[in-house]
Chains A and B, each alone.
Chain A
Amino acid sequence: MGNFRLIFSRSETSLKQKKGKALTWNTYSQFNLLFLSTLMLSLTGVSLVNFIVDPYDIFRYHNPLEAKLVKPEKLNYDRLYKTIDIINIKPEVIILGSSRAKQGLNPKHPGFPTDKTVYNLGIDGSNTYEILRYLEHSYANQPNLKKVILGVDHYMFNDFYKLQDSFDENRLGKTHITATDLLNSLFSQDALIASKNTIQENLSLSKNTQDLTYGDNGFFPHREPNDGKTQWRFTNTINQYFGFHKQYKLSEAHLNNFKKIVEFCRKNNIELIVFISPSHVTQWEALRVTNRWDSFEKWKRKMVEITPVWDFSGYNSITTEPIKDVMTNYVDNSHYTPGIGDLVLNRILSHEVNQVPQDFGFLMTPENIDAHLAKIRSDRSRWAKIQQNEVELVENLKRNFDKSQKSQLK
Chain B
Amino acid sequence: MLFNSSIFILGFLPVTLLIFWLLSKFRLTQGVMIWLLMSSLFFYSYWNIFAPAGQGQTIQYIILIVLSIVINHQLGSAIASAPLSSQKAKLLLFLGTCLNLGVIVYYKYANFLLGSFNHIFASNYNLGQLILPLGISFYTFTQIAYLVDAYRGEIKEENYELPTYGLFILFFPQLIAGPILRHDELIPQFRRLRNFIFSSKNLALGLTLFSIGLSKKVIIADTLSPWVRTIFDHANSLTFIEAWVGALSYTFQLYFDFSGYSDMAIGLGLMFNIVLPINFDSPYKSFSIIEFWRRWHITLSNFLRDYLYIPLGGSRRGEFRRYTNLIVTMLLGGLWHGAGWTFVVWGGLHGLYLSINHGWKKLNISFPKYLAWSITFLAVVMGWVIFRAQNLSDGLTIIQTMIGINGITLPGEAQGKLSFLSSLGIQLQSWSKFNYLPEFYGQKSLSILIIFVLVLAVLKLPNSQEITEKIKFKSWSALVLGLLMTYCLLSLNRVSEFLYFQF
- Decide yes or no whether B493 CB sits under 8 A from chain A: yes
A187 within 8 A of B: yes
Within 8 A of B (CB), among A311-356: none
Interface centre among A18, A190, A408 (most CB of B within 10 A): A18
A contact residues around B278 at 8 Å (CB): 13-15
Q: Say yes or no: B465 contacts A16, CB within 8 Å.
A: yes
> Is B302 within 8 A of A13, CB to CB?
yes
Is the CB–CB distance between B478 and A31 below 8 Å?
yes
Pick the contact of A36: B185, B316, B482 (CB < 8 A). B482
A38 CA to B275 CA in the complex, in Å? 26
- Given A6-B304, A34-B475, A34-B482; A23-B314 close (CB under 8 Å): no
Indicate with 1 or 0, residue by residue over B299-324, a CB within 8 angstroms of chain A CB atoms: 10110110001100011100000100
Q: Of B205, B290, B326, B490, which contacts A192 at CB under 8 A? A: B490
A208 touches B (CB below 8 Å): no
Provide the bound-state CA to CA distance between A188 and B305, in Å: 44
Given known contacts A4-B315, A6-B305, is B478 in contact with A35 (CB within 8 Å)?
yes
Decide: A13 near B204, CB < 8 A? Known: A5-B294, A7-B294, A42-B483. no
Q: Is the CB of B315 within 8 A of A6?
A: no
On whether A38 and B483 interact (CB within 8 A), knowing A18-B205, A188-B490, the answer reads yes
Q: Are A38 and B293 in contact (CB under 8 A)?
A: no
B235 within 8 A of A: no
Contact A38 B479 (CB under 8 A): yes
Q: Are the C-beta atoms of A3 and B277 separated by less than 8 Å?
A: no
Complex Cα distance A187/B492, Å? 9
Contact call A5/B293, Cβ cutoff below 8 A: yes
What CA separation (Å) do A187 and B473 show in the bound complex? 27
Task: Give the residues in chain A near B473, CB-CB below 8 Å.
Answer: 23, 27-28, 30-31
Which B272-309 residues have a C-beta within 8 angstroms of A? Answer: 275-278, 290-291, 293-294, 298-299, 301-302, 304-305, 309
> Are A42's CB and B475's CB within 8 A?
no
CA distance A39 to B208 in the complex (A): 13
| B309→A6 contact, CB < 8 A | yes
Q: Which residues of B contact A16 (CB under 8 A)?
A: 465, 469
Q: Which of B10, B270, B277, B491 is in CB contact (< 8 Å) with A189?
A: B491
- In the complex, A36 Cα to B315 Cα: how many Å? 52
Contact B207 A32 (CB under 8 A): yes
Cα–Cα, bound, A187→B494 (Å): 11
**A49–B127 Cα gap in the complex (Å)?**
52
**Nearest residue in A to B490 (C-beta to C-beta)?**
A189
Name A32-83 residues within 8 Å CB distance of B: 32, 34-39, 42-43, 46
Known A4-B314, A39-B486, A46-B490; contact A14-B358, beta-carbon cutoff 8 A: no
Q: Is the CB of A43 within 8 A of B301?
A: no
Q: Name A6's contact: one of B6, B200, B302 (CB within 8 Å).
A: B302
B490 touches A6 (CB 8 A): no
Residues of B within 8 A of A38 (CB): 478-479, 481-483, 486
Q: Residue A268 at the B interface, CB < 8 A?
A: no
Flag if B299 contacts A13 (CB, 8 Å): yes
Closest CB-CB distance, B448 to chain A, in whole Å?
23
Contact of B316 among A2, A37, A39, A43 (CB under 8 A): A2
Minimum CB–CB distance for B25 against chain A, Å: 16
Binary CB contact string for chain B from 55 to 84 against chain A (1 if under 8 A, 0 otherwise): 000000000000000000000000000000
The verdict on A39 contacting B482 (CB below 8 Å), with A6-B294, A32-B204 known, is: yes
Does A191 belong to the interface (CB within 8 Å)? yes
User: B1-54: which residues lie under 8 A (CB-CB) from chain A?
Assistant: 6-7, 10, 54
Bitwise, A175-188 to B at CB < 8 A (1) or not (0) is 00001100110011
Separation of A398 and B280 alpha carbons in the complex (Å) = 55
Residues 261-279 of B, flagged 1 when their CB comes within 8 A of A and 0 if not, give 0000010001000011110
Among residues of A, the one whose C-beta sits closest to the C-beta of B211 is A35
Q: Considering the complex of A and B, which 7 residue pairs feature the smallest CB-CB distances, nearest first?
A: A38-B482, A2-B315, A188-B493, A34-B478, A13-B277, A28-B200, A5-B290
B residues lining the A interface (CB < 8 Å): 6-7, 10, 54, 185, 200-201, 203-205, 207, 266, 270, 275-278, 290-291, 293-294, 298-299, 301-302, 304-305, 309-310, 314-316, 322, 326, 358, 361, 435, 465, 468-469, 473-475, 477-479, 481-483, 485-486, 489-493
